[in-house]
Structure 1
Amino acid sequence: MSATASVPSATAQPRGRTRRNTELMLLLLGLVIIMGFYAAADIALTKQVTSSVFTLPLLLAIPFLAAHVAVRAWAPYADPVLLPAAALLTGMGVVFLRRLDLVPDPYNGIDEPELTTAAGRIDFPLFAGQGIRQYFYVLGALVLFGLVLALLKDHRILSRYAYTLGLAGLVLVALPAILPASISEVNGSKLWIRLGAFSIQPSEFAKLLLLCFFSYYLVRKREVLSLEGRRIFGMVFPRGRDLIPVLVVWGAAILILVFERDLGTSLMYFGLFVSMLYIATQRTSWILIGLSLFAGAAVLAHTLFSNLQLRVMIWSDPWPYAENESYQLVQGLLGMGTGGLFGAGPGQGQPEKVPYASSDFIIAGFGEEIGLVGLTAMLLVYLVIIARGLKVGLTVRDAFGKLLAAGAAFTMGLQVFVIVGGVTKLIPLTGLTTPFLSYGGSSLVANWIVIALLIRISDTSRRPPPPGVTAPGTGGGPAKPDRLDHAPTEVIKL
């Protein structure tokens, strides 16, 4: 990857094809998979075939097909895989939450004896429980998805408000830390704002705002950050004064770690910035510097905070504490071990035995019922979204769009790695959610906005130029120097 390069007269991506019918076919295939999983789970739990087997999947089809229509109308040249992949994961999350509603589950707030049948199942109405609440979150998320596509005609508009968005992101990050613990603290981490029945996790939206700011900042400053420095062991390390931006973001991550006591969120923000810095400059030394700074901060935090010490303790050896501190982790590992290669089958496992199987440990619940093969397939869907996001960064012309798309894709990949790594005991547990799957509106809405941004940028990169324009512009008018670049042909090559 070089900081500057000449743009060829045409991209490698075939231009002029909308591929919307491909998107529709993939979306329908995803809906069939969702319906099959839910039907199998519902039949296994109720021992009968009822109309409810088809009701929830059909309800899910309505907003997903509406989202497809929105893409047809406002982003016709967008990547055809992003929407179906995100819809498949979201739908699987909704039907799995509904599956959890059908069994007694004290950890997820469903332990009502009067609703329990003789067979030990919950006679739960369709329009009650976490499953239907998640469905309404899906409706809200897809409404915002459509609004982003309709109102954001050009992703570069975001660069005009980069500093405002960055300031708003910092406010959202800091807000839970300064609020009383009674309305912001959950399980030892101050990440929430809870007012009665309403709750929101500001960090999910702050990452979007900071992503826009980082993209703009690195486009403007990448030449300074790429200046020659001192060569050590074959790598060029930056000059001392060029480290200031990284140290500032590192300090912000430390403050999050100290005041909010959450390793996962601070890792996500710092990892986002360092990865985008590497993409913008292609200096491996930035990765080494970033890892060293974060490792030092993590060691320091471990010595200061008891909740982090507990998480490291149960990660290193959970079995002696299986009845108390590491009960959740041990139950998740046992569930996935019980599922084996192909799983117990939809509705035939016991994921309700894992505390918070609907949120933090939903991956463990899926692992028990669809096994290693099914869980691998699910992770491959995430990989498809991440790979397509990086491809969007490769094909779009402007530097701001490249960093925005690549940063969004990397952030989602990092979040999936951190939560799956914690559930499988690869790394200590953190407070991050599983994108699209976990119960809750904040994460779901934020990740669908990410999908909308990727779709908007991919539409820009694939849209053919109007007649008479030979340069691969951004979808309209003659080729002009990009306001974000120093020359018309200057881009960041991923």
Structure 2
Amino acid sequence: MRPPTKRTTELIMLGFAAVLVTGALILVEANQEQELTMNIVWLGLAYLALLSIAHLAVRRWAPYADPVMLPCVGLLNGLGLVMIHRIDLAMADVKMPDGSMWSPAAPKQVLWTAIALALFCACLKFLTDHRTLAKYGYTFGFLGLIALVLPGVLPSFIAPEINGAKIWLSFGAFSIQPGEFAKILLMVFFAAFLVSKRDLFTAAGRRVFGLDLPRARDLGPLVAAWAVGVSIMVLQKDLGSSLLFFGIVLVLLYVATERAAWVVLGVVLFCGGAFVAWKLFTHVQVRVQNWLDPFVDPSGSGYQIVQSLFGLGTGGLFGAGLGGGRPDQIPEANTDFITAVIGEELGFVGLAALLLLYMVFAMRGLRAALSVRDTFGKLLGGGLAFAVAFQLFIIVGGITKLIPMTGITAPFLSKGGSSLLANYILVALLLRISDAARAPKATPKPRPQQPAIADQFTVMVERPK
């Protein structure tokens, strides 16, 4: 008897997510004194239709996948659309520095959501076995490395510096952030590499201060990852991607070897590189100064973090209510600081509930990674789930002044097509791994039994004389 797939449970939770998103949209419109029409209901039904298509793709091509991950993503994506629309309403009469009026971002984000879900369905259809990715690990690693460093080495007219970071490639009206895709490509590479070279990393070298440190000749991959992370910090002026990339490498190393020495050594290397970069480069010093005391220059370099802290303080415990805040006072409200807007309007309780939703998604992803039978799937699934959780920590830690502010986005919430496309690919890979972990084992075909020798019919043959 086959185990239940729980796809109906997934569909019910997706419907509940669509109801919550529609209700949030109604509250935003009502608090902004907008006319409530049936268009809101139609928008909610359209969003439910998009999620239903994704559900049908999972039901068709990954029937045993985890039933909780897709509803979590659907709710996060829907709340992000609501907040981006709410910010559009607040910025409708605001002039940009170049004299133009604010351009609404919500319609574009809806279009990117539809494209991302189409890509999600395509990944589930054409990637029937996640282990196929391991065969092309080095190719993915090469492409990921190029995508990661490309914005930092190209001239400014192709890779402009935006908000102090060079992480975009611009082609007229179209722009892309290749680092979002690079993190997935490099995770595939490191998972495949660690599976094939695991013995190199489990052999211990010298014992220093109670830690069995790796052998010097085995440090090549870690040193290479450290060099790439520091290069991103220097060339792209992007602390967030540097920290995210290096953190993923360390977690994959720890999961593969179960040796804390790799993590300790990696943290020491990264801190040393960050200290040298802080001493040598002005943009790193500015980020650190804004982290230590943003009120030194509250209307200049510290303006973003100061406004973020004021917004969170205004929200208090229960928030100002959806549509009751002032997101027009927070710079980059629909990208880097969207969680600050959520904290202002939903308060600490709403922001904590949002973080719990991310935690549920990450935990289900880690559960799938632990349950899958192959080592490559365990490493890749663990890295993918950790990437979402760690990226959220970096962005929320930045807006709350726990760590220096970075230019990284909140997965599924922030405006941006590159982030949405890459994260839906990530979800498709996790669901594929989850399907492999939960699917019943194929029963081997019984071998035809050969009759015993004693039961064989024998014939006496007379030997010719």
Into which bin does the TM-score normalised by the smaller protein fall?
A: over 0.9
Which deviates more, 451-460 or 232-241?
232-241
- Relative to structure 1, is the Cα distance of residues 350 and 469 closer, same or farther in structure 2, using a 3 angstrom cutoff? farther
* 8 Å contact from structure 2 (residues 90, 327) kept in 1: no
Query: Tell me, what secondary structure is at the counterpart of 1:381?
Result: helix
Q: Aligned to 2:383, which of 393, 397, 407?
A: 407
Q: Aligned to 1:145, which of 93, 114, 120?
A: 120
Q: Partners in 1 of 2:165 and 2:299 — Cα distance?
A: 22
Which deviates more, 158-167 or 229-238?
229-238
Q: Aligned to 1:59, which of 32, 46, 59?
A: 46
Q: Aligned to 1:305, which of 251, 257, 281?
A: 281
Please report how far the alpha carbon of residue 308 of structure 1 lies from its aligned counterpart in structure 2 after TM superposition. Answer: 1.3
Partner residue, 1:7: none
Unaligned 5+ segments in structure 2 are 447-465
Query: Tell me, what secondary structure is at the counterpart of 2:190?
Result: helix
Q: Partners in 2 of 1:434 and 1:183 — Cα distance?
A: 25
Q: Aligned to 2:150, which of 169, 175, 178?
A: 175
Alignment partner of 1:155 is 2:130: yes
* 8 Å contact from structure 1 (residues 395, 461) kept in 2: yes
Which whole-Å deviations, capped at 9, do the CAs of 1:426-469 have from their partners, x for residues lacking one?
Answer: 00111111100000000111011100000001001111123447
Q: Aligned to 1:268, which of 244, 251, 256?
A: 244
Please report how far the alpha carbon of residue 16 of structure 1 lies from its aligned counterpart in structure 2 after TM superposition. Answer: 2.1
- Aligned residue identity for 1:104: M
Please report how far the alpha carbon of residue 181 of structure 1 lies from its aligned counterpart in structure 2 after TM superposition. Answer: 1.6
Alignment partner of 1:42 is 2:17: no
Please report how far the alpha carbon of residue 235 of structure 1 lies from its aligned counterpart in structure 2 after TM superposition. Answer: 2.4
- Aligned residue identity for 1:78: A
Larger-gyration structure (1/2): 2
Alignment partner of 1:134 is 2:109: yes
- Aligned residue identity for 2:38: S
* 8 Å contact from structure 2 (residues 14, 48) kept in 1: no
Q: Aligned to 1:76, which of 45, 63, 77?
A: 63
Higher relative contact order (CA 8 A, sep 6+): 1
- Relative to structure 1, is the Cα distance of residues 137 and 232 closer, same or farther in structure 2, using a 3 angstrom cutoff? same
Alignment partner of 1:17 is 2:4: yes
TM-score normalised to structure 2 length: 0.92
Superposition map of 1:466-481 within 5 A: 466-468=442-444
Please report how far the alpha carbon of residue 224 of structure 1 lies from its aligned counterpart in structure 2 after TM superposition. Answer: 1.3
Q: Partners in 1 of 2:344 and 2:205 — Cα distance?
A: 51
Q: Aligned to 1:214, which of 184, 187, 190?
A: 190
Query: Tell me, what secondary structure is at the counterpart of 1:183?
Result: coil
Please report how far the alpha carbon of residue 280 of structure 1 lies from its aligned counterpart in structure 2 after TM superposition. Answer: 0.3
Query: Tell me, what secondary structure is at the counterpart of 2:170?
Result: strand
Q: Partners in 2 of 1:85 and 1:399 — Cα distance?
A: 26
- Aligned residue identity for 1:29: F
* 8 Å contact from structure 1 (residues 107, 355) kept in 2: no
* 8 Å contact from structure 1 (residues 155, 456) kept in 2: yes
Number of residue pairs the alignment of both structures matches: 445
Partner residue, 2:408: 432
Partner residue, 1:10: none
Q: Partners in 2 of 1:28 and 1:395 — Cα distance?
A: 28
Q: Aligned to 1:319, which of 295, 302, 305?
A: 295
* 8 Å contact from structure 1 (residues 56, 95) kept in 2: no
Which whole-Å deviations, capped at 9, do the CAs of 1:456-483 have from their partners, x for residues lacking one?
Answer: 010011111234479xxxxxxxxxxxxx
Which deviates more, 103-112 or 318-327?
103-112
Partner residue, 1:97: 84
Q: Aligned to 2:336, which of 342, 360, 370?
A: 360
Please report how far the alpha carbon of residue 371 of structure 1 lies from its aligned counterpart in structure 2 after TM superposition. Answer: 0.5
* 8 Å contact from structure 1 (residues 104, 111) kept in 2: no
Which whole-Å deviations, capped at 9, do the CAs of 1:153-200 have from their partners, x for residues lacking one?
Answer: 000010111111111111111211221123312122111100111000
- Relative to structure 1, is the Cα distance of residues 106 and 221 closer, same or farther in structure 2, using a 3 angstrom cutoff? farther
Superposition map of 1:284-295 within 5 A: 284-295=260-271
Superposition map of 1:249-268 within 5 A: 249-268=225-244
- Relative to structure 1, is the Cα distance of residues 332 and 111 closer, same or farther in structure 2, using a 3 angstrom cutoff? farther
- Relative to structure 1, is the Cα distance of residues 63 and 175 closer, same or farther in structure 2, using a 3 angstrom cutoff? same
* 8 Å contact from structure 2 (residues 116, 424) kept in 1: yes
- Aligned residue identity for 2:138: Y
- Aligned residue identity for 1:433: T
Superposition map of 1:99-114 within 5 A: 99-104=86-91
Q: Partners in 1 of 2:445 and 2:298 — Cα distance?
A: 66
Unaligned 5+ segments in structure 1 are 1-13, 115-121, 123-127, 471-494
- Aligned residue identity for 1:448: Y
Q: Partners in 2 of 1:407 and 1:316 — Cα distance?
A: 31
Q: Aligned to 1:165, which of 126, 132, 140?
A: 140
- Relative to structure 1, is the Cα distance of residues 320 and 15 closer, same or farther in structure 2, using a 3 angstrom cutoff? farther
Q: Partners in 1 of 2:18 and 2:56 — Cα distance?
A: 16
